[in-house]
Structure 1
Amino acid sequence: EAAELASLPATTGVKALPASTPGVVHVAGAPEPRGAGSRSCAPGEENCLPEDGGTIVRDDLDALLFALPKRIREPLMRHPMRTSLLEVVLDLGRRPEARFLGVQGGEFLCDSEITAEDLELAEEAVGEFGSDNRAGVTGTLHRISALRSRRGALVGLTCRVGRSVSGHVDMIRDIIAQPGESILFLGAPGVGKTTVIREMARVMAEGAAGLGTTAGRRVVIVDTSNEIGGDGDVPHPAVGRARRMQVPDPTQQQHVMVEAVQNHMPQVVIVDEVGTNEEALACRTIAERGVQLVATAHGQVLENVLKNPTLTELVGGVAPVTLSDDEARSRGTQKTILERKGPVTFSVVIEMRERNHWIVHRPSDESVDMLLLGKRPIVESRRRNEAGEVEVQEIPYDNGAGEDDDRNGERYSWADQLSGISEHDALNELQRAGYLGGRGGGAMGGRRGGRRL
């Protein structure tokens, strides 16, 4: 295998970024092992590629490829889009398929179908699968997810390429320079949320001139599936000096989050994929203790979180309010409306539309209140230009859905749509959506679940 690797052409087009590259944060501190987090590629360094806009991408792709059967590995090692490889899909009885960033659909790697022996060999080459059917390659950021039959037999593998990226933190360096502002990242799968919080862990733990300090903060990563710090007992160099707590069972993530605060006194807690009500409550508990949170959550835009009763606690929660007749008349609304019921856990919410285009809700409570009123909040649109500079522009919020609404041009009045139905039916609808407590869908149960203004 070593001879085979040596015969391949080295990664081409690698050039060191000059120190004067616009939009670059130069991290201070001890030298980083294997160049992780460095803002330039060393001469002759393989698996390192500058991207447009001042970011540097590193991967340990060879470690993943050598876990695959030879007939699948060879086409990928010589593939012209190797550096854009997103994942390799191996399904029993089907041809192996590679998927690339920015390309619709996949590409078959060979004509022969995947056999049970192929899957067994690949399984032996990676780490042990957990209860969430995820494993990794020790010392790397790659993730391997298993498909199993009803009897538990392995019938498929999804081999996801993990990459260490330096430079994305420039998009929000003014925000993370202020201690205490908790940040929630939203975005479609594959847009780079985990990659960003991994770099944030390194920069915040080591300190950076661009953050106004060379002293790092006490950062603890709660790593449920080893996606942030990589597989193995020693964290990947991409997280720098941040400490990492592994989670033995995904259902225990909320307990490990609280344990991190109680036992290790962090200033910052970083967690990936907040997805249950218990984890949302754990986030609130941590924030109430004065610890800064950086997290990702399921959802592409802020409205997804507002419409998800499980996650609304992250942005203060949503509760129905019953107005008096006079108040409803003065507001021009029906008697039952939705309002934010408490302070937000995350003062900053970032929608990652693309890798170099982010929408920032800051402060997030104002955006939540405006959306619940059916209005369009003013947000920050942050884009990285070709020169690597981050351009910030204040614009009216657009969730990107492209929906039309004839009500005075307002496209975000989903919370006001109850005005077209009766009070009784409105309360029943809120009950079914999970915003009201109590039993049954009756209006009386709904009234007890809300507040009266």
Structure 2
Amino acid sequence: MAAGSEVAALLAVVPRWIGASVEGDAAETVEEIELDLGRPPRLHFHDHDEPVTLSREVGREDLQYVLGRVTRFREDNRTGIDRTLHRIACIRDRYHEIVGFTFRIGRAIGEAAQPLQELLETRRNVLVVGRPGAGKTTVLRSAAAILSDQLHRRVVIADTSNEIGGDGQVPHPAIGSARRLQIPLPDHERPADAGARQAGVILQAVINHRAETIIVDELGFAADARVARTIARRGIQLIATAHGASLRDVIFNSELACLVGDPQTIVLSPEEIERRGMMRHTILERTGPPVFDCAVEIVRRGVFVIHPDVAESVDNLLRDLPPQAQTGHPRTGSQPG
């Protein structure tokens, strides 16, 4: 499906007077459309710092227009459009009635992970971090295509919210020949099982489908982290994103710290304090090797900070020293951090 027709597929479920505001060139840059009952729609474009607010307010007839074309939302209040990467989320009031929508335009960027190909070829485990909207999922999607189609690896994706492969039973062609396992919806009566469900699917990729590379969007639970360690011990390549804008955020996330060496507070003996020439009685140190060999921080789309040795970068950060990182393209034009 061509990029233009993919955007048109989403605009077809948006009220026409709103869709008319993103026709032509605007359709190529629109990223998100917000509809809230009784308020003007807001349109976000990637080449605008501020959203564009329309003059007319959203009425109930506009909400019904959408609901007449999008009839099913999951328990997480999300849905999508088959064979596209778009995401539609609804907002409900306390009576469970829908009072708003967020339409997120998904675009496949085939070259997004190309600067990381050298890392992917080495079969090293790669952790990708970055602020929301920086393009982490786009990089994973591109990496899946590179690994499966160019490097001919057996790739399985654990698709947490259908954002890598898109909604529906048939994944978006942007993931190449990688296979996609969808995470079951959590039981709202047992929310603590959410992490266990994703961890279970990740294990299925190993046991049932003989994955050589596993791609996971958002390692966010302690159960995910434990399974990631298991995968690393089996010698299977793991490419994943995690909550946090930088490697430092992962280090100080208690549930995910084990991914980067599980730093713990160490109490120093008087002899050790004297030997190190320190004033402090406690320090933070890694207690084991990191699950991930290298890490990639997405500063903004297409701009990366690469940590080729996570262990070394973590050790430096724990000592309040600059990490050993590279900026820019890891093959050419990289500069040491």
Question: What is the TM-score with the length of structure 1 in the denominator?
Answer: 0.69
Q: 1:190 aligns to what?
A: 133
Q: 2:314 aligns to what?
A: 368
Maintained 8 Å contact 1:126/1:138: no
Letter in 1 for 2:115: M
Q: Which of residues 109, 120, 138 is equivalent to 2:82? A: 138
Deviations 1:119-153 (A, max 9, x none): 23313423632222211111100011121112221
Q: Which of residues 303, 321, 327 is equivalent to 1:381? A: 327
Deviations 1:270-325 (A, max 9, x none): 01011111212221122222111111111111111111112111111111111111
Q: How does 1:314-393 map to 2 (within 5 A)?
A: 314-333=259-278, 334-383=280-329, 390-393=332-335
Letter in 1 for 2:6: D
Deviations 1:223-252 (A, max 9, x none): 121111111101111111100001121512
SS of equivalent to 2:208: helix
The sequence identity of aligned pairs, in percent, is 40
Q: 2:38 aligns to what?
A: 93
Q: Partners in 1 of 2:63 and 2:332 — Cα distance?
A: 44
Gapped regions of structure 1 (runs ≥ 5) = 1-33, 35-45, 49-58, 209-215, 396-453
Q: Partners in 1 of 2:264 and 2:17 — Cα distance?
A: 57
Q: In structure 2, do the counterparts of structure 1 residues 339 and 220 end up closer, same or farther at CA, with 3 Å as the change threshold?
A: same
Maintained 8 Å contact 1:224/1:249: no
Gapped regions of structure 2 (runs ≥ 5) = 187-193
Letter in 2 for 1:292: Q
Deviations 1:88-130 (A, max 9, x none): 0001111111101142221123x32112332233134236322
Q: Partners in 2 of 1:160 and 1:71 — Cα distance?
A: 18
Q: Which of residues 196, 203, 227 is equivalent to 2:146? A: 203
Question: What is the TM-score with the length of structure 2 in the denominator?
Answer: 0.92
Q: Partners in 2 of 1:204 and 1:142 — Cα distance?
A: 23
SS of equivalent to 2:296: strand
Letter in 1 for 2:127: L
Letter in 2 for 1:258: L
Letter in 2 for 1:145: A
- Alignment pair present for 1:105 and 2:47: no
User: Number of paired residues?
Assistant: 327
SS of equivalent to 1:165: coil
Q: Partners in 2 of 1:311 and 1:127 — Cα distance?
A: 37
SS of equivalent to 1:303: helix
- Alignment pair present for 1:262 and 2:207: yes
Greater radius of gyration (CA): 1
Deviations 1:330-369 (A, max 9, x none): 2133221111111111111100102222111111011001
- Alignment pair present for 1:236 and 2:172: yes
SS of equivalent to 1:168: coil
Deviates more, 1:97-106 or 1:111-120: 111-120
Q: 1:158 aligns to what?
A: 102
Maintained 8 Å contact 1:339/1:372: yes
Q: CA deviation at 1:390?
A: 4.5
Q: Partners in 2 of 1:145 and 1:225 — Cα distance?
A: 12
- Alignment pair present for 1:305 and 2:305: no
Deviations 1:59-92 (A, max 9, x none): 71000000101111112124x4321111000011
Q: Partners in 1 of 2:41 and 2:60 — Cα distance?
A: 13
Q: 1:47 aligns to what?
A: 3
Q: Partners in 2 of 1:272 and 1:224 — Cα distance?
A: 6
Q: Partners in 1 of 2:158 and 2:175 — Cα distance?
A: 12
Maintained 8 Å contact 1:170/1:390: no
Q: Partners in 1 of 2:63 and 2:329 — Cα distance?
A: 42
Maintained 8 Å contact 1:219/1:270: yes
Q: 2:16 aligns to what?
A: 70
Q: Partners in 1 of 2:332 and 2:99 — Cα distance?
A: 45
Letter in 2 for 1:152: H
Maintained 8 Å contact 1:254/1:282: yes
Q: Partners in 2 of 1:91 and 1:176 — Cα distance?
A: 42
Maintained 8 Å contact 2:117/2:146: no
Q: Partners in 2 of 1:121 and 1:246 — Cα distance?
A: 29
Deviates more, 1:216-225 or 1:334-343: 334-343
- Alignment pair present for 1:248 and 2:187: no
Deviations 1:184-237 (A, max 9, x none): 1111111111011101101101125xxxxxxx1100011121111111101111
Q: Partners in 1 of 2:160 and 2:68 — Cα distance?
A: 22
Report runs of 4+ in structure 1 exceeding 4 Å deviation. none
Q: 1:177 aligns to what?
A: 121
